[in-house]
Amino acid sequence: MIGADPQTGTGGAPGGGAAAFAGLWIGAALVGLFVAAALLSFVWTPYDVTRIDVAAKLQGPSAAHWFGTDHFGRDLFSMIMVGARTSLAVALVAVGIGMGVGVPLGLTAAALRGGWLDELIMRANDLVFAFPALLIAVMITAVFGPSAFNAILAIGIFNIPVFARLTRGAALGYWQLDFIRAAQVCGKGRARISVEHVLPNLFNILIVQGTIQFSLGILAEAGLSYVGLGAQPPLPSWGRMLAESQTMFSFAPHLALFPGLSILLAVLGLNLLGDGLRDRLDPRRGLAP
Amino acid sequence: MSSDRTRLAGGTALLVAGLALAQAAFAQRTDIVVGMGLEPPHLDPTTAAAAAIDEVVYANLFEGLTRFAPDGSIQPALAESWDISEDGTVYTFRLHEGVTFHDGSTLDAQDVKFSLDRARSEDSTNAQKGLFAGIEDVTVVDPLTVQITLDQPDGGFLFSMAWGDAVIVAEETADAAKTAPVGTGPFRFENWVQGDRIELVKYPDYWGDPVALDRAVFKFISDSTAAFAAMMAGDVDTFPIFPAPENLAQFEADPRFRVIVGSTEGETILSTNNKQPPFDDPKVRQALAHAIDRQAVIDGAMFGYGTPIGTHFAPHHPAYLDLKATSAHDPDKARALLAEAGYADGFTTTLKLPPPSYARRGGEIIAAQLREVGIETEITNVEWAQWLEQVFRGKDFGLTIVSHTEPMDIGIYANPDYYFQYDNPDFQSLMDALRAEADPEARTALLQQAQTIIAEDFVNGYLFQLAKSGVADARIEGLWENAPTQANDLTGVRWTE
Amino acid sequence: MLRFALFRALSLGLSLVAASLVVFFALEIVPGDPAAAMLGVNAQEDTLAALRAELGLDRGPVARYFDWAGGLLRGDFGISYTYRTPVAQMIADRLWVSLPLALYALALTLLIAFPAGLAAAARRGKGTDLTIMGVTQLGIAVPNFWFAMLLVLAFSITLRWFSAGGFPGWEAGVGPAMKALTLPAIALALPQASILTRVLRSALIETLGQDYIRTARARGLTRRQVLWRHALRNALIPVLTIIGLQFSFLLAGAIIIENVFYLPGLGRLIFQSIGQRDIIVVESVVMLLVFAVILVTFLVDLAYAAVDPRLRRPR
């Protein structure tokens, strides 16, 4: 859900050890499955998702159509495959925007700790953070019209303060450490230290947070498409498939079942992967007794 | 209430009436919940175009001099009768006696003059100001007679006066009509829970035939799933325009419900920007027409509800001409025509789709059909406000899908500035001839000629006449089957059993 | 403490001014004329101009910004373009749906999360913990609007226990009104409860590892006593932060769920107003929601500072 607070993360896996290990691999497998489906959809889908065959509409799952057909007679399985592409692409680019803008901002703020620029960056972050992602999306689409691009922009903007805060918080810790102080004594500039010494140490937590934001991005994309603010037809998207099926699922439940399960499994996979990676990569978590 | 009854009847009559009432109370309901997809922005039909306003107030709360009957004919309403001068420019209306507004004040000719003058005044905010453009003067002859002078004869004037935008309001209450409407109709406004419902109650002092219902609630449910569930649960008694045609089969299978399918005045068309290349080439427009499979659009987008049309004219109108063959589905011919026009490899254009499902779903199907002949479309879903701004005013579009719901609106093709920008002098002079013609047979001939011209010029892709597909509790009778205007006239509605 | 509170309050004020500027001028460039949206396709140019003048749209954006922002300060939100009723009244009406819904969902969240979090922490690594953690993973991953659709399918269409949506109004009685909010509240609460359960569990486990807890255990308190008397109290601080955030998210994030259940709340009001280009309503609702989020953050900061004096320095 869009409202989920990203900074709370999802907590460590219970029992550490075996369960976390299983979670990591289950997560990796689910994510791998959807990535493979998305990539495969570029070269092959069982049916053309833009081809409409009204005569074949609303068929249940069968050997010819594994997931059945929708109200235009399109093959649901093919649409799920292409929808995976939409979902993953939107979420990935949005996380990229969040990292690309947020990490430099956070590094700058940490390097200039207590200065006016630090204060300005953090206040601006708070301001953006005060706008729920959906409100940002609604405002952006009101101005520019609905599209996948604007969905990316909205989710990306929402991600910026997340990464800026995380980066600043973690980087501040490193600025206290001896090896950074040593670099400073050697006369290296703050910008250079940030890039050469601080940033490499942040990779692990950024990867972990990136995975979590990726899963939130998929949920956000689904929510935006569901209310019609995401990818536009004829490009299939899971959220819009759900919205379109809503009037029909009392007599054709498969229309709502498969896209919903796809979102659920993709997000679940990413969360499990993120938790598993956190247990392995995040130094702050590795200490759990 | 009770004092009215005592006054009405004495002795046995009272007893009989009392028994009848008691019986009626047990046997019949006198309230109704009408479902609507859109909530009106406010309740003043004289200052906004929103169809939802008329769907609540037309004939129920507000009345005009004339009105639309369920079959689309024009009937007297507040005007009991009228005379038209020899030259057709002076209309003298005689008003019904004893008509009162819901605040108890009496309707007189001064109210009519006020309403019409307000609608045509300089600072008027009437959405259909054009209806009143021909009025030169409104004169009060006596309290029940009003004389309207037109600048030229207008065969459609009585028709214009029947619109919801031409209802009669009183000067004292007109400005408050948005939230506290005061009209002359059989129901008066009681309550509005914004975002949920509007409640009307019977106006006991109504001048005309009393209505059978005591109470009418209009409930706004924009979500089709919720609308379906509300009907099934009995929370709503009728949905005159049910938002999801895909659910009608389930209602049909259920004996508790009756599915009412009628026609509207809505010609649904693939509107084409005639000035934007390549659509300025008639061959390209013809190719477009042959690329479209109307029946697939009706089946896929409307689940079979809708009548295919081959020109911009309602099939239920006596002057309708079946011209579907002119633009029959023929992809090969479409491809050949495109090649002839120099677009053998096709081209890309924009398709802007407003919110109704006929447009959103129909658009996806048409995009697929056009792709078959090599025309790629970039679909943009727009809100009505954007559609008005970009398409209707800005003329920034290649294609769009819209239902033209105004009755008898073929005249829009004579306006070269209208958003699809069709400019044909022959057609324009034909429309001038039509306006001057009074003889019904000659008018029919002219109308058929007009239909043929726009069909053979392939101005737009003519898709289908929008059906009015609704559902009602099987025990309700008197609902309009067709929609000659946007209204939920409850004056004849009653529960049976 | 007072100085810190004043500093934060000033910062809050500046944030609100900045937010109002962003909201107003971002929406100012929204294409689409409110007057044209109201008068439709047959409106004449002079009619449109008359309506624009009536709505005050013929004046410059800067003048209108000061009117609007000045009005907000006085609690006057202006008059809706389309409905022509005071925006404050419309918002108040909608708040009577959105606020109870958020509180209802929050109550459900707490009712689920506290027992689940405590149980998981108490039996860490055991079957109960694994099961609860597994369920919360699903709860976080499920799109709430899809979950809402499934609830409608099960409880409205199939079982007919609840209506599929709509809101009878509080005048219909507390019972029917709460009933109408039940399915939406459940749909909203599930993911939030899952998040809170996990946060609570982590916080409890972390405090259980602290020295003083070990000391308490060494003094002979049972694990259960320690959990209830010491760990829970100390774990409450991070948990309260999350609850504060969740509340503002529930208020603003219910937009989609309100659409699924066609509840006349703030979210529906935003969508509807954007569609009708009733920009003044959109601006005011967005500002209100932003204000709610900023205010909650402010209160959480204050609460933190009250607990932990080290945080009173400017961040």
Lowest mean pLDDT among A34-38, A127-131, B486-490: A127-131
C42 pLDDT more than 60: yes
- Looking at the structure, tell me whether residues C58 and C188 fall in a common domain: no
- Looking at the structure, tell me whether residues C151 and C115 fall in a common domain: yes
Which residues, listed in sequence order, are joined to residue B197 by a DSSP beta bridge? B193, B219
CA distance B497 to chain C (A): 26
- Greater model confidence, B141 or C306: B141
Q: Which residues contact C219 (CB under 8 A, 6 or more apart)?
A: none
Nearest to A234 among B224, B367, B382 (CB): B367
Q: Which residues in chain B have their CB less than 8 angstroms from residue C285's CB?
A: none
Tell me the whole-structure pTM to 2 decimals.
0.83
pLDDT at site B10: 42
pLDDT at site C307: 66
User: In chain B, which residues fall in CATH 3.40.190.10?
Assistant: 31-36+180-262+468-495
pLDDT tens for C156-209 read 878 878 877 778 778 888 898 899 899 999 999 999 999 999 888 888 888 777
Q: Which residues contact B10 (CB under 8 A, 6 or more apart)?
A: none
Under 8 Å between Cβ of B240 and B480: yes
- Token pair 């998210």 is found at C249
- Looking at the structure, tell me whether residues C60 and C136 fall in a common domain: no
- Greater model confidence, A118 or C235: A118
- Looking at the structure, tell me whether residues C123 and C245 fall in a common domain: yes
Lowest mean pLDDT among A233-242, B143-152, B218-227: B218-227
Containing H/E element for C140?
A: helix C127-141
Q: Is B169 helix (H, G, I), strand (E, B) or coil?
A: coil
- Looking at the structure, tell me whether residues C195 and C47 fall in a common domain: no
* Whole-angstrom distance, CA of residue B355 vs CA of residue A243: 14
Structural domain boundaries, residue A255: 74-285
* Nearest chain C residue (CA) to A268: C141
Taking CB atoms within 8 Å and a gap of at least 24, the contacts of A141-144 are A141/A229, A142/C27, A142/C30, A142/C274, A142/C282, A143/C26, A143/C27, A143/C29, A143/C30, A143/C31
B19 pLDDT more than 80: no
Q: How many CB pairs under 8 A join A and B?
A: 60
- Looking at the structure, tell me whether residues C155 and C45 fall in a common domain: no
Lowest mean pLDDT among B55-59, B472-476, C251-255: C251-255
Range A42-69 average pLDDT: 89
The structure tokens listed for B370 are 């056009």
CA atoms within a 13 Å half-sphere pointing along the CA-CB vector of B89: 8
Nearest to B380 among A51, A232, A251 (CB): A232
Rounded percentage of chain C residues whose pLDDT exceeds 90: 17
Q: Which residues in chain B have their CB less than 8 angstroms from residue A234's CB?
A: 364, 367-368, 379
Interface test with B, best of A48, A74, A141, A247 (most B CBs within 10 A): A247
Under 8 Å between Cβ of B280 and B343: no
C-alpha dihedral, C64 to C70 to C73 to C77, nearest 10°: -40
Q: Which residues contact A191 (CB under 8 A, 6 or more apart)?
A: A111
User: How far is residue B175 from each of residues A269, B169, C38, C84, C289, measured CA to CA in Å?
Assistant: 60, 10, 17, 11, 33
- Looking at the structure, tell me whether residues C175 and C59 fall in a common domain: no
* Whole-angstrom distance, CA of residue C194 vs CA of residue C199: 9
User: Could you tell me the fold of the domain covering B31-36+180-262+468-495?
Assistant: D-Maltodextrin-Binding Protein; domain 2 (3.40.190)
Say how many C-beta atoms besides its own lie within 10 A of residue C63's C-beta. Answer: 10
- Does the residue C84 lie in any domain? no
Contact A268 C290 (CB under 8 A): no
Say how many C-beta atoms besides its own lie within 10 A of residue A109's C-beta. Answer: 25
Chain A, residues 111-170, CB within 8 A of chain B, namely 145-147
Specify the CATH number for the domain of residue C144: 1.10.3720.10
B232 pLDDT more than 90: no
pLDDT at site B27: 62
Treating both helix axes as pointing N-terminal to C-terminal, what angle do C144-151 and A254-281 enclose, rounded to 10 degrees? 140
Containing H/E element for A105?
A: helix A76-111
Q: Which residues in chain C have their CB less than 8 angstroms from residue B39's CB?
A: 272
The structure tokens listed for B233 are 């649960």
Do β-strands B135-142 and B79-84 pair in parallel, antiparallel, or remain unpaired? unpaired
Name the region of B59 (left: φ>0; alpha: ψ -120 to 50; beta: rest). Answer: left
- Looking at the structure, tell me whether residues C97 and C68 fall in a common domain: no
- Does the residue C38 lie in any domain? yes
Contact C26 A272 (CB under 8 A): no
Closest to A131 in 3D by CA, of C248, C243, C17, C185:
C248
pLDDT tens for B79-124 read 999 999 988 899 999 999 999 999 999 999 999 999 999 999 988 8
C132 pLDDT more than 60: yes
Range C10-26 average pLDDT: 86
* Whole-angstrom distance, CA of residue B217 vs CA of residue B202: 11
User: In chain B, which residues fall in CATH 3.90.76.10?
Assistant: 66-171
The average confidence (pLDDT) of chain B is 89
Chain C, residues 246-275, CB within 8 A of chain B, namely 259-262, 264, 268-269, 272, 274-275
- Does the residue C285 lie in any domain? yes
pLDDT at site B252: 92
3-class SS letters over C256-312: HHHHHCCCCCHHHHHHHHHHCCCHHHHHHHHHHHHHHHHHHHHHHHHHHHHHCHHHH
Eight-state DSSP code of residue C158:
I
Q: What are phi and psi of B33, to 5 degrees?
A: -115, 115
Q: Which residues in chain B have their CB less than 8 angstroms from residue C43's CB?
A: 49, 127, 129
Closest to B42 in 3D by CA, of B158, B192, B204:
B192
Nearest to A54 among B244, B246, B300 (CB): B300
- Looking at the structure, tell me whether residues C122 and C207 fall in a common domain: yes
B427 exposure class (CB count in 10 Å sphere: 0-12, 13-18, 19+): buried
Overall domain count for chain A:
1
Most confident stretch, B120-129, B385-394, C109-118, C301-310 = C109-118
A186 exposure class (CB count in 10 Å sphere: 0-12, 13-18, 19+): exposed
Chain B, residues 142-181, CB within 8 A of chain C, namely 178-179
Under 8 Å between Cβ of B440 and B276: no
Structural domain boundaries, residue C46: 2-74
Chain C, residues 162-201, CB within 8 A of chain A, namely 191-192, 195, 198-199, 201
Under 8 Å between Cβ of A281 and A25: no
pLDDT at site C310: 58
Specify the CATH number for the domain of residue A231: 1.10.3720.10
* Confidence band, pLDDT 50/70/90 cuts, at residue B413: very high
Under 8 Å between Cβ of B302 and B358: yes
Range B3-14 average pLDDT: 42
A284 pLDDT more than 80: no
- Greater model confidence, A93 or A283: A93
Contact C276 B122 (CB under 8 A): no
A12 pLDDT more than 60: no
* Whole-angstrom distance, CA of residue C186 vs CA of residue C109: 9
Under 8 Å between Cβ of C140 and C191: yes
**Second-level CATH architecture of B266-466:** Roll (3.10)
- Looking at the structure, tell me whether residues C44 and C98 fall in a common domain: no
Range A71-99 average pLDDT: 94
Q: Which of C47, C74, C101 is at the close of a domain?
A: C74
Range B230-255 average pLDDT: 89
pLDDT tens for C50-102 read 888 888 888 888 888 888 888 888 888 888 888 888 899 889 988 999 999 99
Question: What is the interface pTM, i.e. ipTM, of the complex?
Answer: 0.84
Contact A242 C195 (CB under 8 A): no
- Does the residue A262 lie in any domain? yes
Eight-state DSSP code of residue A231:
S
The structure tokens listed for B308 are 């295919």
Overall domain count for chain C:
2
Range A271-287 average pLDDT: 72
pLDDT tens for C205-225 read 887 777 777 777 777 777 777
User: CA gyration radius for chain B?
Assistant: 24
Under 8 Å between Cβ of C246 and C195: yes
User: Could you tell me the fold of the domain covering B66-171?
Assistant: Dipeptide-binding Protein; domain 1 (3.90.76)
CA distance A254 to chain C (A): 12
Q: Which amino acid, residue B54? A: D
Q: Which amino acid, residue B135? A: I
pLDDT at site B216: 96
The structure tokens listed for A128 are 């953006």
pLDDT at site A10: 41
pLDDT at site A286: 39
Q: How many Å from the N-terminal Cα to the C-terminal Cα in chain A?
A: 31
- Does the residue A247 lie in any domain? yes
Chain C, residues 132-171, CB within 8 A of chain B, namely 149, 152, 156-157, 160, 163-169
Contact C145 A143 (CB under 8 A): no
Contact C32 B388 (CB under 8 A): yes
The average confidence (pLDDT) of chain C is 83
Peptide bond into A234 cis (omega under 30): yes
Treating both helix axes as pointing N-terminal to C-terminal, what angle do B425-436 and B440-456 enclose, rounded to 10 degrees? 160
Rounded percentage of chain C residues whose pLDDT exceeds 70: 96
pLDDT at site B235: 85
Burial code (b: 16+ CB inside 10 Å, e: under 16) for B344-366 equals: eebbebbbbbbebbbbbbbbbbb
Nearest to B228 among A50, A54, A250 (CB): A250
* Cα dihedral B105, B110, B116, B120 sign: negative
Chain C, residues 272-291, CB within 8 A of chain B, namely 272, 274-277
* Whole-angstrom distance, CA of residue B350 vs CA of residue B164: 35
Closest to C230 in 3D by CA, of C246, C218, C241, C242:
C218
Q: Which residues contact A36 (CB under 8 A, 6 or more apart)?
A: none
Treating both helix axes as pointing N-terminal to C-terminal, what angle do A116-129 and A148-175 enclose, rounded to 10 degrees? 140
Q: Is C235 helix (H, G, I), strand (E, B) or coil?
A: helix
Under 8 Å between Cβ of B274 and B459: yes
- Does the residue A258 lie in any domain? yes
pLDDT tens for B269-328 read 999 999 998 999 999 999 999 999 999 999 999 999 999 999 999 998 889 999 999 999
pLDDT at site B12: 44
- Does the residue A20 lie in any domain? no
Eight-state DSSP code of residue B305:
-
- Does the residue A119 lie in any domain? yes
User: How far is residue C252 from each of residues B60, C99, C101, measured CA to CA in Å?
Assistant: 39, 10, 11
- Looking at the structure, tell me whether residues C22 and C139 fall in a common domain: no
